[in-house]
Amino acid sequence: MPLPIVTFVRMDSSTSFYSFTLPLLTGGELPFRSLRGRKVLLVNVASECGFTPQYRQLQELHEHARDHLAIIGLPCNDFGSQEPGTPEEIRTFCDQRYQITFPLTAKVRITSDPIHPLYQWLTSMDQNGVRNYPVTWNFTKFLISGEGQWLDAFGPAVSPFADEILDQINANLPS
C-alpha cells in the first residue's frame, strides 16, 4: 500500500516564502529559510509525464548554478496521475534514470484538496503579493528571488534552459 501524500507544512508566524518547511522525500526536512540568499526554482515533477526528460536539464542546471540557485523538485500526482509511486519508487527512478542530486520533497497536492499551503502561496497574488498563476500541469516552474520574493512562473513546456528563465537566474549576480 502506497504511503499517504504529505499535506502538512509547518509555518512560522509570517507567511513569507522562508516560513515554509517541507518534508523531504527521503526523510528529514527542508526549511526554506536555509535557502536565503539564493534564487529558488520550484518544479512540480512527475515520473510518468511527457515532460519528465526535463529532469535531465534541471540536474544540469543544478550542477552549474548551485552556488546561486536552489532547485527543488516537488512530486505531485494531481495531473493525469503521473506520479503514482511511493517515495522509494520515486527516488529510485530519479537516481537511476537521471542521477538527481537536488532535493525532492514528499508528494504535494496542488489542485486536489487539501491544496498544499506552499502552492496556495505560489499561485495566489493575495499571498505572494505579485501574481496569480494557476498550475495546469506537471513541470510548472516558479522562480523565487534570493530575498524570498516571487519573481516569475513558467509553464511546463518552457525548458529549464529557456532564455527567459536563465536571464532571471543570472540577473544581478556578482561579476
Regarding pTM above 0.85, the answer is yes
Domain assignment present for residue 121? The answer is yes
How many domains does the chain fold into? 1
**What does the pLDDT look like over 91-118, one tens digit per residue?**
999 999 999 999 999 999 999 899 999 9
The answer as to whether 163 is a domain residue is no
Report yes or no on 46 lying in a domain. yes
Strands (E), the chain: 21-23, 29-31, 39-45, 69-75, 141-144, 150-154
- Compute the C-alpha angle 146/147/151, nearest 5°: 75
Q: What is the CATH number of the domain that holds 89?
A: 3.40.30.10
* Within-domain flag for 147: no
Residue numbers of the domain that contains 83: 17-136
**Does any domain span residue 45?**
yes
pLDDT in tens, 60-90: 999 999 999 999 999 999 999 999 999 999 9
| 67 is a domain residue | yes
94: annotated active-site residue: no
Considering the domain boundaries, does residue 117 fall inside one?
A: yes
> For residue range 43-63, what is the model confidence (pLDDT) as tens digits?
999 999 999 999 999 999 999
Measuring CA to CA, which residue among 174, 111, 169, 114 is closest to residue 145?
169
Higher-pLDDT residue of 2, 110: 110
Q: Does the pLDDT value for residue 10 go beyond 60? A: no
Active-site hit among 30, 35, 46, 49? 49
Euclidean distance between CA atoms 56 and 158, whole angstroms? 14
- Grid coordinates given for 161: 534552459
State how far the Cα of 95 lies from the Cα of 106, in Å rounded to an integer.
16
CA distance 159 to 54: 7
Q: What's the confidence (pLDDT) of residue 175?
A: 56
Grid cell, residue 151, equals: 519573481
Of 90, 95, 8, 104, whose CA–CA distance to 48 is shortest?
90
- For residue 7, pLDDT over 50 is answered with no
Burial class (CB in 10 A: 0-12, 13-18, 19+), 81: exposed
